[in-house]
Structure 1
Amino acid sequence: MRKLREMNKYIIMLFFACILNIQVWSQMQRLYYIDDFTTLDSARYEITYEVEKVPDTTKPNDKLTDVQKLLIGKEISKTYSYM
């Protein structure tokens, strides 16, 4: 009975070790299409704004909400609008 418990313990440890190895291996694999793209600049700062706009001043209660994102890099800055 004691040998059976020890064997079950080793089987469970082996199972978890295999799962851990599979997870590490899958995270280390590079996608084949990654090399096709070149990095222009890496974003150092990411700023997100929520902006409310009034498109028609005769109707001030009709507001549009927009989320804008500003990415500031070492040489390049970009802004995006999600409206």
Structure 2
Amino acid sequence: MTMLLFVLASASAIFQACKGEWWTALAVFLPSLGVAALLGALEWQRTSLFWVAGMFVVAGFGAEAMAYWRTRTAGRGQVGQ
């Protein structure tokens, strides 16, 4: 199940990257990579790899916020024209 999640997220990220939406691609790919690592490695919760996987999830949410912010500011520029 984890591998299916990762493959579907990777395909979606590639599709978004081909459209030039890099922040959206990162927002899709990084959390899925982190969650796949976290689910696949529950036995090494105290190692640094656990924290790296957690940082992937946090970075993905940061990319999601940046993608949302960029679409909101782009929309405001079009309304003012």
Q: TM-score range by the shorter chain?
A: 0.3 to 0.5
Larger radius of gyration: 1
- Normalized per residue, the structure richer in helix is 2
Q: Which has the higher contact order (CA 8 A, sep 6+)?
A: 2
- TM-score, normalised to structure 2, is 0.36
- Normalized per residue, the structure richer in strand is 1
- TM-score, normalised to structure 1, is 0.36
